[in-house]
Amino acid sequence: MITVRPASDRGVADFGWLDSRHTFSFGHYYDPRHMGFASLRVINEDKVAPGQGFGTHGHRDMEIMTYVLSGGLDHQDSLGGGSTIHPGDVQRMSAGTGIRHSEFNASATEPVHFLQIWILPETAGLRPSYEQIHVSPEAKQGHLHLIGSRQGGDGVVTIHQDVNLYAAILTAGQTVDHAIAPGRGVWVQVVRGGITLNGHPLTAGDGAEITDVAGLTLVGTATEAEVLLFDLAV
């Protein structure tokens, strides 16, 4: 079964400095029909105004992924870590027993546009940690490129959960296939552009939950597309 989650149906939070769209229930947006999918709990699409951001705040027992689409995001945390996250970067922060961090637009003149993704860890009470990698557009062009997994590895962030996270960039007519093993499900999130997913048209901000399907075919449409694909135990 493929269930499409249209971008227009997402929760909305607009605070002036922050424009956020919530695929799943988050903050003041609550919908019992959309509480996450398997261990995938949050996909927020955020746009933060120049010079603005999230002051120091805390998290526990969550795998937090940041994927920047445009601009730069300054990150500081209580582990002493600090970096600026740019397009193509993937950051994973394990909150574990507790971590405090801040996130601010790195620019005084341009907005920053990014996805923040939360995944429930398979074990509570992990030691807090974070890592960041860069994935070039060429690495994602025309195929599903692994960017996060339980095993981690060279150029792959470690996610403390049974999930494989892929990214792909598809031009018009480019096709990628993905086989789904028994006992697993998939969430596809369109970051930009448009695709068809087993014939279902999807555009930027749309997501799709896939269960009891043996395989997927993603085809780029008229505008170059970028997609994230989560393969999870269900």
Token output for 172: 């018009």
List, in order, residues 6 or more apart from 190 with CB less than 8 Å away. Answer: 202, 203, 204, 205, 206, 207, 225, 226, 227
pLDDT of residue 115: 98
pLDDT tens digits, one per residue of 9-64: 999 999 999 999 999 999 999 999 999 999 999 999 999 999 998 888 878 899 99
* Residue 126 to residue 61: CA distance in whole angstroms: 7
pLDDT of residue 203: 97
pLDDT tens digits, one per residue of 114-161: 999 999 999 999 999 989 999 999 999 999 999 999 999 999 999 999
pLDDT of residue 12: 97
List, in order, residues 6 or more apart from 214 with CB less than 8 Å away. Answer: 179, 180
List, in order, residues 6 or more apart from 15 with CB less than 8 Å away. Answer: none
pLDDT tens digits, one per residue of 173-198: 999 999 999 999 999 999 999 999 99
Does the pLDDT of residue 78 top 80, yes or no?
A: no
Q: In what order do the strands lie in the sheet with 215-220?
A: 175-179, 215-220, 194-197, 200-203
97: nearest Cα among 58, 67, 133, 66: 58
Fold topology of 2-233: Jelly Rolls (2.60.120)
Does the pLDDT of residue 77 top 80, yes or no?
A: no
Token output for 95: 């909150």
Token output for 131: 């890592």
pLDDT tens digits, one per residue of 11-25: 999 999 999 999 999
pLDDT of residue 99: 84
DSSP 127: P
Does the pLDDT of residue 102 top 90, yes or no?
A: no
**209, 169 in Cβ contact below 8 A?**
no
Cβ density class 139-175: b for 16+ within 10 Å, e for less? bbeeebbbbbbeeeeeebbbbbbbbbbbbbbbeeebe
156: nearest Cα among 90, 85, 96, 72: 90
144: nearest Cα among 187, 177, 122, 183: 177
Indicate the pLDDT class of residue 101, thresholds 50, 70 and 90.
confident
Ordered by start, the domain boundaries in the chain are: 2-233
Indicate the pLDDT class of residue 207, thresholds 50, 70 and 90.
very high
Mean pLDDT, residues 194-219 taken together? 97
Measured between its terminal Cα atoms, the distance across the chain in Å is 14
Amino acid letter, residue 104: F
**172, 140 in Cβ contact below 8 A?**
no
Mean pLDDT, residues 94-122 taken together? 93
pLDDT of residue 55: 82
- Cα distances from 57 to residues 74, 78, 102, 209, 234, in angstroms, run 14, 10, 7, 31, 31
Indicate the pLDDT class of residue 100, thresholds 50, 70 and 90.
confident
| Strand, helix or coil for residue 35 | coil
